[in-house]
Structure 1
């Protein structure tokens, strides 16, 4: 399904019940899964707080689509511009290396010319030895010159809604709580979990898509996704 992102001058429209605000909920607050389902028409939010939507530029109209093999080169170039070469050294990369994104959960945002201006992927993981299955979100990146138009927010909402629709139970990520808290992520349920490498504990955040799934979750997060084959495209 394509999501047409209209003007960057108005607040994001997610669902009729979500109101005019571009934020789904305040930091650490959970919302019902119904509130995450995006409407067919979105409006990009101007002036969102925090990366990757921070800045003063306004985004043009854009669409969110499933990532394809043809997007690999453009996606990698975008990640290099947005995150720099050190992105490959992050602990989350250890959970992605040699794996494919979770089925149906890799998306790009395109501008009217067809250029890739945003990207997000989700990956299958296990929470500790024999623990519950979950998703790891990342990287989320937006073209550096278009960071105020709500592209990152739209990608987040779309990714969460699709993960919920496909029956997944929880999403984890490593990021800034002030930004990701608007989508319901917090560190409240991750104190007994760890990444497989250096990371800042307060930045390990989670969102339950099914209530109670993180109860008792502990241990090191492990990769559980489909392995890369010779002709697969992954970063």
Structure 2
């Protein structure tokens, strides 16, 4: 069995009355670990609650359908009881017909009742750090620039790229993990990486 990605434990969620110096003595509010096979049902239920049924019609889904996440880049956040309260996955893509390899991040989702507690930010930081550690050059996503800009994403390097379906161009954002990783990237983003087989395809979200 492959080893899970390193985990990150986090202190109390926003709203806790614990003093800062009491955090070490308490159980962490959530921990980030590599996603396991047993997380499929919980992940899909969380995505349905957080994003609704239309999530499968997004352009990003065309790049995820029938594929496995990039090796070592699928994470969940668990609360103190072990329940899945957050998820993020990154997928291998090709940036145009003859362009460089990259990663597509998404979906990022947090249990609706826990939004604002730092889970989403922690998942983002962890996913980006792991992608860099594994040697990837760039991460792309479709999302709101005001939110993802805090992690270094912008539309400055995506003007020559396109998603395979309807999308808002200003929401196609990228982060270079290596300087120049997006140089010359142009054309429609294409799916790459590992394929799923059989019934597992049904659970890709």
TM-score (norm 1): 0.77
List alignment gaps of at least 5 residues for structure 2.
1-5, 16-22
Q: CA deviation at 1:9?
A: 4.3
List alignment gaps of at least 5 residues for structure 1.
11-40, 43-59
Aligned residue pair count? 188
CA distance in 2, matches of 1:69, 1:198: 31
Which one has a larger percent helix, Structure 1 or Structure 2?
2
Matched with 1:167 is 135
Could you tell me which of 80, 95, 98 is aligned with 2:66?
98
**Secondary structure at the counterpart of residue 139 of structure 2:** strand
Per-residue CA deviation, residues 65-123 of structure 1 (Å, 9 max, x unaligned), is: 00011000000000000000000000000000000000000000000111000000000
Q: CA RMSD in A?
A: 1.6
Q: Comparing 103-112 with 222-231, which one deviates more in the overlay?
A: 222-231
**Secondary structure at the counterpart of residue 197 of structure 1:** coil
TM-score (norm 2): 0.88
Matches within 5 A, 1:181-220: 181-220=149-188
CA distance in 1, matches of 2:49, 2:175: 28
CA distance in 1, matches of 2:149, 2:7: 26
Matches within 5 A, 1:1-235: 1-9=6-14, 61-230=29-198, 232=200, 234-235=204-205
CA distance in 2, matches of 1:181, 1:98: 30
Q: CA deviation at 1:231?
A: 5.9
Which runs of 4 or more aligned residues in structure 1 lie more than 6 Å from their structure 2 counterparts after TM superposition? none
